[in-house]
Structure 1
Amino acid sequence: MEFSDAIELIRHPESGNVSRSIWADLGCGSGLFSFALAALLPEGSHIYAIDKNPVSLNKHSKPAQTIIQPQQADFVTQELSLPPLDGILMANSLHYVKDKISCLTKLSTYLKENGAYIIVEYNTETANRWVPYPIRFETLKDMFATLGYTKVNKLREKPSLYGRANLYAAYISR
């Protein structure tokens, strides 16, 4: 995915309308979506780019006023060393989590009262070795409703490069 496509996929109504904020990108990989989020957040924001593998962020264009701090940790099995978060970004990482409810219940404790999630996933329930526990948007919506989130909005959807299912982005808040 191109950097500009990642920015457009996760652009949400709240981006740019908030004061500086603190986010975590869980399962950040090369950091494509960490940098895309940095392009959307206001000056002075901070992003914790977390992955279970050693974090080596590719250089993407990012505003100089946003800090991206790499951190190696497994967000599913480990406690994370984080301040209270305004948001959690999970781009292509939730489909690696088998027990999503337990994981999201734990992760929600890191969020401030008005915190939000941005989720990027494949709109399918057909698993494969690269997407072992996929989640369709409608299932995601129901799951977050059971966790007390009242706003689950699909931001955008785009065809996957692999052609099996579309990729969607969702913005979730209470």
Structure 2
Amino acid sequence: MTKIVIDPTLGPVLARTGDERAVLNSFLDFHRDIVARKLRGLSDAAARRRLVPSATTLAGLVKHLTLVERNWFPRLLAPRPDDVYETTEEAAAASFALDDADTVQSLLADYEQACALSRDLAARFDLDHVVPHEQLGEVSLRWILTHLIEETARHAGHADILRELTDGSTGVR
């Protein structure tokens, strides 16, 4: 029998026999890492460059996903009195807009900080934990994790295309 060699950088492969939480977390972290890797190593100018008709840029994708992390984890699982859950199409579109102060380094630091907080908060609750949601009524942590996998994976695909158009880099690594 041929021994199968598993690439340890592919978290979902390592969690293939894990429990539900391990599988959900590994897929979400895998896609988070892909998004961050697509931005790493680029100049600020390259990360801001518009390569498609929309305002979508590599830097903008990471800024948007930072808002997504903050919206779905701290604002729902541990809201503060001054938190505002961003629900409008305008807010989503605006989350791609870059400020002069946004750099590759600052965007990655903000994203990684938001993801770390999301991980910490999610670990405090059972997957069946339910929270109120302004538009959906209620959502479970399981649903939030699954939604974030979908959202992050979709944007990881966008980032892959934009990075290929930027410098020819493709693939997971």
Shared topology, TM-score over 0.5?
A: no
TM-score by length of 2: 0.26
Higher-Rg member (1/2) = 2
- Normalized per residue, the structure richer in helix is 2
- Normalized per residue, the structure richer in strand is 1
TM-score by length of 1: 0.26
Choose between structure 1 and 2 for higher RCO, CA contacts under 8 A separated by at least 6 residues: 2
